[in-house]
């Protein structure tokens, strides 16, 4: 199965904290192939959690298994992730 995951992270995160967050998300996914594109910092259309800009990431995930709903719950509970969009591709 292939998935497309777009993340909007807080732009106020330091580079080291952002890298730790990205590495922890990779660990949650396990042994899958991830093609990562960093779109960088862009302004938001409206403030989210008092942030006016966000750091955008786009991942294409190739996995043999279905990504668990637990993963999406952990994305929602993380305060450093402003928004996410997880789509399953055919």
Residues whose CB is less than 8 angstroms from the CB of residue 66 and which lie 6 or more positions away in sequence, other chains included: 1
* pLDDT tens digits for range 42-84: 999 999 988 899 999 999 988 877 777 788 888 899 899 999 9
Q: What is the model's pTM? A: 0.84
pLDDT of residue 30: 80
In the predicted structure, residue 90 carries a pLDDT above the cut 80: no
pLDDT of residue 64: 78
pLDDT of residue 39: 92
Residues whose CB is less than 8 angstroms from the CB of residue 11 and which lie 6 or more positions away in sequence, other chains included: 41, 51, 53, 54, 55
pLDDT of residue 46: 92
In the predicted structure, residue 86 carries a pLDDT above the cut 90: no
Domain architecture of the chain: domains with CATH: 2-89 (3.30.70.60)
């Amino acid at each position: 199965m292939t998935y497309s995951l777009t993340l909007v992270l807080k732009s106020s995160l330091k580079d080291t904290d952002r890298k730790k967050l990205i590495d922890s998300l990779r660990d949650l996914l396990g042994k899958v192939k991830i093609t990562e594109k960093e779109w960088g910092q862009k302004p938001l259309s409206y403030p989210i959690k008092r942030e006016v800009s966000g750091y955008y990431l786009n991942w294409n995930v190739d996995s043999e298994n279905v990504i668990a709903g637990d993963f999406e719950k952990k994305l929602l509970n993380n305060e450093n992730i402003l928004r996410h969009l997880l789509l399953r591709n055919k």
